[in-house]
């Protein structure tokens, strides 16, 4: 199963993904997808070795899937980390409608652009 | 309200400078995350799913309009223009950058607002009755003693590395609005047989993974012994609390493990050594603090009920709001106004910077410049003239702060949940919004009456689900979000923990389950009794059957 | 060792046998509680300064009556987050009247030094610090105002407000 490495950036807490060339990116789509699980662990170990000098905190390996030419985290927690809260448009750039398996449910929502995400929807 | 003097101001400034140094050391790699984490937690800074979250204290739920405006400033300058009020009289900012946190904290310190010890294994924000000083049913004003304890607990050198967090609440009214029975130390002010005011002290209450109702360790404590007695409890806890397992580290665990009598013995043994020593609370300090809580310059007014009744008859929407959100004040001619942050569709407890400023203006105009925070994530203006209620109400309506649902079904307590919180198993906010949407008819929820729904996204119970009439707990079942319901919890002076209703429900089924519970309540309700009273009378079976059907109910 | 006492880097004159090593025939030595309880008379007979090292789960209540025999008591912080020794320090100083060297050992870091000083420690093994003297001085300057009385007798904010001691 394809994997990526996710973390929080130390200086501002932003969610980042390990990028090609061992940098970090806030854009999920620019993160490096690792097919070999052992390789993912090796990369994780290298990141952790930096300890106090690392630009990130709490790096973890996460499972992703590749669908329609794009990468999506499997777990809802990482979807939310990648795309922001489902209840506000804090990040301004979230297009929840574009997520496979995620549908927008209409309802009487007072806040502009707020969508409700139901991962279990059958639509 | 309390105003910082030169000592308080200096202390806060030094604390802010210390934290600035700690952040610099962390960013320079001189501190590991492990070494830094407790330091930032003791300054209220969490790492959450998307960013750092800063939790700021509103001590015993009190804010001045000036402080509220500074909260708005912090929301605008360092965050994304809003904040979130919690169940412990705090406000949280969700999008803070570590590098900017020292500046935000310094800005708050300028107006006497701190994030000190809002997290960490230390004594947290001391919470109290949001109507303190104003409620008709109040026996004594707890704020003086909250302030004494606040100062005592700030950077206490002996108790900054406790086994776990420590929460204290004090109520001055027999109608407990401060949930003292589910705190590590809870105190109820009352008179002894000689008519002297003092504290009943409860210990070992708490929610979370293993909830407990607090037990009485001492029936009556003289106010002069407040600090020495609390110190004795804290010292016994610091020395004997478990440090081997984070889930067994609260004081409630050792109190229940050894029993309240043995625990009391240990505390009394310790207290014997210190009760008449340097921690005795001097009268002049009590007097000094009491002066800050002197009543504001109330006008001498007649009771305004008659005039109010006429206005209410003329305007049924205004009438509904008065019935729902306005509470009697002990001074004739005045009223307590609850400002709802629960408009349908909103995130419960959230407030924008603009609204914070607007509330500050309303406080200045209508309530002597003071704002309170209650435990259901709403605000309160405690000193409003009855003659000005109608005018204030119209302004609140324009700000969408007038939903008349205080203590009713849509006055939902809701933690941030998986949308924000790294600890959560499930999202809580969408559930709250769905329920509020399903019960948007105000007349219906007023007919249902007092009905509390508390939602937690995980077992840490920040949404206080154990003590909701209905509690909703988010759980992770095979990677999907499920919600477990409990019934019959209560956080007042008849505190009780909710009973599990049955297997977890998927998100889509929760509003319907609430509807079934309400319908069952209506069929069984006797003499207009509250839901909680019906539940206590008939038990859980009828509700189980109603939600799950007879067969499933039998199986579980 | 990076032992700070009186704000300076000092030599540790004590031999530490508290790890179970053989106790030398003479000279200042630090023992653990089990060694003290098993060899009490022999240790007292040595006639040279005696030190005791306590683990974080060993309350000084166990040696309350023997305080006068120790020139040094070392309290362990196995992890800096384990705060039991702060209580032990106050009991030693304020309840049992210990006047000797009260030494913080283990995971002792600059950011906790201020609390240690306030609870009665006067010696600090700052082994993780690259510049122990500088770190110690920095920590000490963090606060000039505090709210709680501890045995160090320095005035609290409350006392300063009302000009009492």
CATH number of the domain bearing residue B19: 3.30.70
Q: B452 or A112: whose pLDDT is higher? A: B452
Whether residue A13 lies within 8 A of chain B, CB to CB, comes out as yes
For A8, A84, B47, B123, B364, the CA distances from A91, given in Å and listed in that order, are 16, 6, 17, 34, 34
Cβ-proximal residues to C164 (8 Å cutoff; 6+ apart), any chain: B282
Whether residue A85 lies within 8 A of chain B, CB to CB, comes out as yes
Q: Coil, helix or strand for B166?
A: strand
Q: Coil, helix or strand for A98?
A: helix
Q: What's the distance, CA B188 to chain centroid?
A: 16
Contact A12 B481 (CB under 8 A): no
> What's the ipTM?
0.97
Q: Mean per-residue pLDDT for B8-30?
A: 97
A12 closest CB neighbour out of B51, B440, B507: B51
pLDDT at position A89 is 54
Structure tokens at B374: 């209650």
Reported as half-sphere exposure (CB side, CA atoms, 13 A), residue B231 has a value of 29
The pLDDT confidence band at residue A21, using thresholds 50, 70 and 90, is confident
The pLDDT confidence band at residue A48, using thresholds 50, 70 and 90, is very high
Rounded CA-CA distance B232/B215 in Å is 17
- Please list the residues that pair with C73 across neighbouring strands: C52, C102
Residues B437, B394, single domain; the answer is: no
Q: Between vectors from CA B73 to CA B413 and to CA B133, what angle results, nearest 5°?
A: 55
Alpha-carbon torsion angle B389, B390, B392, B393, nearest 10 = 110
pLDDT digits (tens, 9 = 90+) for B99-155: 999 999 999 999 999 999 999 999 999 999 999 999 999 999 999 999 999 999 999
Cβ-proximal residues to B329 (8 Å cutoff; 6+ apart), any chain: B134, B135, B136, B335, B336, B382, B383
Number of cross-chain residue pairs from B and C with Cβ atoms under 8 Å apart: 97
Q: Coil, helix or strand for C100?
A: coil
Among all residues of chain A, which has the CA nearest to that of B428? Answer: A87
Closest CA to B111 of B248, B242, B2, B227: B2
The pLDDT confidence band at residue A118, using thresholds 50, 70 and 90, is very low
Structure tokens at C162: 């009302």
Q: Between vectors from CA B115 to CA B111 and to CA B121, what angle results, nearest 5°?
A: 155
Contact B7 C142 (CB under 8 A): no
Residue B404 falls inside a structural domain: no
Residues A40, A72, single domain; the answer is: yes
Residues B242, B150, single domain; the answer is: yes
Residue B234 falls inside a structural domain: yes
Residues A74, A21, single domain; the answer is: yes
The backbone torsions φ and ψ at residue A65, rounded to the nearest 5 degrees and listed phi first, read -130, 150
Report chain B's C-alpha Rg in angstroms: 23
B97 closest CB neighbour out of A12, A15, A88: A12
Determine the residue among B32, B161, B166, B274 to mutate to test chain C binding: the one whose Cβ has the most chain C Cβ atoms within 10 Å.
Answer: B161
Residues A29, A13, single domain; the answer is: yes
Q: Mean per-residue pLDDT for B397-410?
A: 97
pLDDT above 80 for B360: yes
Residues B141, B262, single domain; the answer is: yes
Structure tokens at C86: 């702060």
Domain count of chain B? 4
Q: Any idea what DSSP says for residue C141?
A: T
The backbone torsions φ and ψ at residue B200, rounded to the nearest 5 degrees and listed phi first, read -80, 130
Q: Where are the domains of chain C?
A: 3-162
Rounded CA-CA distance C29/B477 in Å is 58
pLDDT above 90 for A108: no
- Please list the residues that pair with B189 across neighbouring strands: B199
Rounded CA-CA distance B428/B417 in Å is 5
pLDDT digits (tens, 9 = 90+) for B77-90: 999 999 999 999 99
pLDDT digits (tens, 9 = 90+) for B421-450: 999 999 999 999 999 999 999 999 999 999
Whether residue C95 lies within 8 A of chain B, CB to CB, comes out as yes
pLDDT at position C151 is 80
- How near does any CA of chain A get to the CA of B219, in Å? 46
The pLDDT confidence band at residue B479, using thresholds 50, 70 and 90, is confident
Q: Mean per-residue pLDDT for B232-255?
A: 97
Residue B328 falls inside a structural domain: yes
Residues B500, B426, single domain; the answer is: yes
For B32, B359, C65, C70, the CA distances from C91, given in Å and listed in that order, are 32, 49, 13, 15
pLDDT above 60 for B367: yes
Determine the residue among B25, B341, B427 to mutate to test chain A binding: the one whose Cβ has the most chain A Cβ atoms within 10 Å.
Answer: B427
- Architecture category of domain C3-162 in CATH: Alpha-Beta Barrel (3.20)
Of B243, B264, B289, the position where a domain reaches its end is B289
Residues B394, B417, single domain; the answer is: no
pLDDT at position B478 is 84
Residue B489 falls inside a structural domain: yes
Phi-psi region of C163 (alpha: psi -120 to 50; beta: other; left: phi over 0): left
A15 closest CB neighbour out of B32, B50, B99: B50
Residue B466 contacts residue B486 (beta carbons within 8 Å)? yes
B52 closest CB neighbour out of A13, A91, A109: A13
Q: What CATH number did the domain enclosing B323 receive?
A: 3.90.480.20
Q: Mean per-residue pLDDT for C104-109?
A: 97
Full residue range of the structural domain in which residue B373 is found: 305-398
Q: Which residues of B are less than 8 Å from A10 in CB distance?
A: 26-27, 98
Q: Mean per-residue pLDDT for C91-110?
A: 97
pLDDT at position A68 is 79
Q: Coil, helix or strand for C10?
A: strand
Rounded CA-CA distance B107/B75 in Å is 11
Closest CA to B464 of B89, B30, B75, B52: B89
Which residue bears the tokens 């209620």?
Answer: B389
Q: Mean per-residue pLDDT for A52-78?
A: 92
Q: Which residues of A are less than 8 Å from B346 in CB distance?
A: 110-111
The pLDDT confidence band at residue A99, using thresholds 50, 70 and 90, is low
Q: Mean per-residue pLDDT for A4-24?
A: 95
pLDDT at position C162 is 80
Q: What is the share, in percent, of chain B residues with pLDDT greater than 70?
A: 100
For B272, B279, B284, the CA distances from B229, given in Å and listed in that order, are 9, 9, 20
pLDDT digits (tens, 9 = 90+) for B154-200: 999 999 999 999 999 999 999 999 999 999 999 999 999 999 999 99
- Name the strand (E) or helix (H) holding B518: helix B510-524
Residues A52, A69, single domain; the answer is: yes
Q: What is the share, in percent, of chain B residues with pLDDT greater than 90?
A: 97
Structure tokens at B364: 């200045």
Q: A97 or B7: whose pLDDT is higher? A: B7
Whether residue C141 lies within 8 A of chain B, CB to CB, comes out as no
pLDDT at position A116 is 35
Q: Mean per-residue pLDDT for C9-31?
A: 94
Residue B26 contacts residue B45 (beta carbons within 8 Å)? no
pLDDT above 50 for A120: no
Residues A92, A123, single domain; the answer is: yes
Whether residue B121 lies within 8 A of chain C, CB to CB, comes out as yes
Q: What CATH number did the domain enclosing B504 receive?
A: 3.30.413.10
| Beta strands C101-106 and C123-125, pairing class | parallel
Structure tokens at A33: 């997808």
Contact A13 B47 (CB under 8 A): yes
Among all residues of chain A, which has the CA nearest to that of B507? Answer: A118
Full residue range of the structural domain in which residue A96 is found: 84-123
Domain count of chain A? 2
pLDDT at position A87 is 83
Rounded CA-CA distance A13/B33 in Å is 13
Which residue bears the tokens 């790890």?
Answer: C19
Residues B377, B493, single domain; the answer is: no
Residue B473 falls inside a structural domain: yes
pLDDT at position A109 is 31
The pLDDT confidence band at residue A119, using thresholds 50, 70 and 90, is very low
Rounded CA-CA distance B536/B320 in Å is 28
Contact C147 B151 (CB under 8 A): yes
Residue B297 falls inside a structural domain: no
Rounded CA-CA distance B255/B237 in Å is 9
Q: Which residues of B are less than 8 Å from A105 in CB distance?
A: none
Rounded CA-CA distance B46/A101 in Å is 31
Contact A120 B508 (CB under 8 A): yes
Count of CB atoms situated within 10 Å of the CB of B290: 14
Q: Mean per-residue pLDDT for C100-129?
A: 96
pLDDT at position B345 is 82
- How near does any CA of chain B get to the CA of C22, in Å? 31
- How near does any CA of chain C get to the CA of B465, in Å? 30
B39 closest CB neighbour out of C82, C111, C145: C111
DSSP characters for B59-125?
A: GGGEEEHHHHHHHHHHHHHHSSSEEEE-TTSEEEEEEE-GGGHHHHHHHHHTTT---TTSSSSSB--
Rounded CA-CA distance C158/B456 in Å is 40
Residues A65, A92, single domain; the answer is: no
Mean pLDDT, chain B, rounded, equals 96
Rounded CA-CA distance A29/A31 in Å is 6
Closest CA to B17 of B37, B43, B36: B43
The backbone torsions φ and ψ at residue A7, rounded to the nearest 5 degrees and listed phi first, read -160, 175
Among all residues of chain B, which has the CA nearest to that of A110? Answer: B345
Structure tokens at B382: 């405690």
Q: What is the share, in percent, of chain C residues with pLDDT greater than 70?
A: 98
Residues B156, B284, single domain; the answer is: yes
B239 closest CB neighbour out of C84, C143, C158: C84
Closest CA to B253 of B264, B240, B235: B240
DSSP characters for B19-37?
A: HHHHHHHHHTTSS-HHHHH
Residues A23, A74, single domain; the answer is: yes
DSSP characters for B272-340?
A: HHHTTSTTSPPHHHHHHHHHHTSPP--------HHHHHHHHHH-HHHHHHHHHHEEEBSSTTEEEEEE-
């Amino acid at each position: 199963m394809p994997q990526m490495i996710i973390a929080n950036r130390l200086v501002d807490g932003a969610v980042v993904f390990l990028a090609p060339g061992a940098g970090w990116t806030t854009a999920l789509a620019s993160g490096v997808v690792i097919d070999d699980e052992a390789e993912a662990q090796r990369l994780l170990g290298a990141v952790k070795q930096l300890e106090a000098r690392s630009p990130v905190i709490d790096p973890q390996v996460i499972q992703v899937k590749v669908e329609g030419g794009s990468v999506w985290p499997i777990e809802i927690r990482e979807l939310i980390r990648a795309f922001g809260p489902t209840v506000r448009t804090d990040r301004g750039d979230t297009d929840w409608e574009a997520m496979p398996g995620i549908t927008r449910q209409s309802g009487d929502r007072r806040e502009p652009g707020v969508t409700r995400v139901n991962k279990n929807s059958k639509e | 309200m309390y105003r910082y003097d030169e000592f308080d101001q200096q202390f806060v400034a030094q604390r802010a400078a210390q934290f600035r140094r700690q952040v610099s050391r962390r960013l320079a790699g001189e501190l590991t995350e492990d070494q830094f984490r407790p330091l930032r937690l003791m300054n209220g800074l969490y790492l959450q799913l998307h960013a750092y979250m800063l939790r700021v204290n509103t001590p015993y739920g009190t804010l001045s309009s000036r402080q509220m405006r500074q909260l708005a400033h912090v929301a605008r300058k360092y965050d994304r223009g809003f904040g979130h009020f919690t169940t412990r009289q705090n406000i949280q900012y969700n999008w803070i950058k570590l590098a900017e946190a020292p500046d935000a904290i310094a800005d708050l310190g300028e107006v006497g607002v701190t994030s000190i010890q809002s997290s960490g294994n230390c004594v947290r924000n001391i919470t109290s009755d949001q109507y303190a000083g104003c409620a008709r049913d109040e026996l004594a004003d707890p704020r003086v003693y909250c302030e004494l304890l606040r100062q005592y607990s700030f950077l206490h050198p002996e108790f900054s590395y406790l086994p776990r967090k420590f929460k204290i609440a004090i109520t001055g009214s027999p109608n407990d609005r401060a949930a003292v029975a589910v705190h590590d130390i809870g105190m109820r002010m009352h008179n002894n047989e000689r008519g002297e005011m003092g504290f009943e002290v409860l210990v070992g209450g708490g929610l979370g993974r293993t909830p407990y109702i607090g037990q009485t360790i001492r029936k009556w404590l003289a106010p002069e012994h407040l600090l020495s007695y609390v110190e004795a409890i804290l010292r016994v806890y610091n020395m004997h609390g478990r440090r081997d397992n984070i889930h067994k580290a609260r004081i409630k665990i050792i109190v229940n493990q050894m029993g309240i009598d043995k625990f009391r013995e240990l505390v009394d043994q310790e207290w014997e050594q210190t009760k008449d020593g340097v921690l005795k609370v001097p009268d002049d300090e009590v007097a000094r603090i009491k002066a800050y809580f002197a009543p504001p310059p109330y006008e001498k007014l007649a009771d305004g009920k008659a005039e109010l009744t006429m206005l209410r008859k003329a305007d049924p929407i205004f009438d509904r709001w008065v019935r729902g959100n306005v509470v009697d004040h002990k001074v004739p001619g005045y009223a307590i106004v609850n400002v709802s942050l629960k408009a349908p569709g909103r995130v419960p407890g959230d407030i924008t910077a603009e609204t914070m400023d607007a509330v500050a203006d309303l406080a200045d105009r209508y309530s002597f410049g003071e704002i309170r925070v209650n435990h259901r994530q709403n605000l309160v203006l405690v000193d409003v003239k009855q003659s000005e209620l109608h005018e204030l109400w119209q302004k609140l309506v324009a700000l969408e702060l007038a939903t008349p649902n205080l203590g009713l079904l849509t006055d939902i307590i809701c933690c941030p949940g998986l949308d924000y919180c790294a600890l959560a198993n499930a999202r809580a906010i969408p559930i709250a919004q769905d329920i509020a949407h399903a019960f948007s008819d105000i007349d219906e929820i007023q007919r249902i009456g007092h009905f509390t729904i508390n939602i937690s996204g995980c077992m840490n119970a920040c949404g206080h689900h154990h003590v909701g009439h209905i509690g909703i707990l988010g759980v992770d079942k095979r990677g999907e979000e499920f919600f477990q319901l409990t019934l019959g919890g209560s956080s007042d002076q008849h505190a009780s923990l909710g009973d599990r209703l049955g297997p977890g429900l998927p998100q889509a089924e929760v509003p319907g389950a609430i509807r079934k519970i309400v319908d069952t309540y209506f069929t069984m309700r006797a003499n207009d009794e509250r839901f909680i009273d019906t539940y206590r009378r008939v038990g859980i079976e009828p509700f189980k059957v109603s939600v799950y059907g007879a067969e499933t109910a039998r199986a579980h | 060792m990076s032992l700070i006492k009186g704000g300076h880097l000092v030599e540790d004159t004590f031999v530490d046998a508290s790890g179970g090593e053989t106790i030398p025939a003479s000279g200042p030595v630090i023992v653990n509680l089990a060694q003290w309880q098993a060899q009490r008379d022999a240790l007292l007979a040595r006639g040279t300064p005696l030190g005791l090292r306590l683990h974080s789960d060993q309350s000084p209540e166990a040696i309350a009556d023997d305080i006068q025999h120790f020139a040094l008591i070392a309290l362990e912080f196995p992890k800096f987050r384990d705060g039991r020794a702060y209580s032990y320090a106050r009991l030693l100083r304020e309840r049992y009247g210990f006047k000797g060297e009260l030494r913080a050992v283990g995971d002792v870091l600059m950011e906790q030094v201020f609390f240690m000083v306030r609870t009665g420690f006067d010696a600090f093994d700052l082994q993780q610090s690259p510049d122990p003297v500088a770190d110690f001085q920095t920590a000490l300057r963090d606060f000039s105002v505090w709210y709680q009385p501890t045995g160090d007798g320095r005035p609290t904010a409350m006392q300063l407000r009302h000009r009492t001691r």
